[in-house]
Amino acid sequence: MPRKGLLIVHTGNGKGKTTAALGLACRMLGHGKRVAIVQFIKGSWRYGELDMRERYAGLLDFHVMGKGFTFKSEDRDADVQAAKEAWTLAETVINEGEHALIVLDELTYLVQLGMVEEETILRALLKRPPELHIIVTGRDASCALIEQADLVTEMKEIKHPLKAGIKAQKGIEF
């Protein structure tokens, strides 16, 4: 079967990488298609997103990696182990072929921090079920990932309120 599913990358230093993935998830769910979201950074998803699980019960699978690494841990071995387990779960969800769209949220960090070999990830993405769309989010997407992707958007920060001393807002930042 020829490949129809797109590999989409949201990268850059601006807001909107995860949020735009969330919007695409809503759109796909609105078509009655199943979506899975795998979160690789502990705590990067908040109440607003978690509410979606209830709204779209039966269609949306949310894998919040409770043991996901946090950048803050002082136990590198444990972090690497947690990252590898998260990736293994993602690979399983990809290969199951039960979803129309899978969001791999903040996946790029696993590569940047040397937690998972990029070659392993790229190979898994390449041999995904042909109809499956995948969105990878995270800063500093590698050239190899961009090369393999079908659609790449850079979210570029032009102006940010936290730099102007405005506090994070409920519903906007979290």
List Cβ neighbours of 88 (8 Å cut-off, separation of 6 or more). none
What is the rounded CA–CA span in Å between residue 59 and residue 94?
16
Residue 88, token pair as written in the block: 């293994």
Amino acid at 96: E
Closest CB 119 distance from a copy of itself, rounded Å: 21
Site stretch for a copy of itself (CB under 8 A), options 65-73, 83-91, 107-115, 164-172: 164-172
Nearest CB to a copy of itself, comparing residues 126 and 172: 172
Query: Which x/- pattern, by CB under 8 A, does the window 72-111 give for a copy of itself?
Result: ----------------------------xx----------
Which residues face 39 on adjacent strands? 64, 105
SS3 79: helix
Of 166, 136, 173, give the one whose Cα is nearest residue 151: 136
Nearest CB to a copy of itself, comparing residues 117 and 150: 150
Q: What residue ranges bind a copy of itself (CB under 8 A)?
A: 4-6, 8-12, 14-16, 18-24, 26-31, 33, 46-52, 55-56, 100-101, 133, 146, 149-161, 164, 166, 169-172, 174
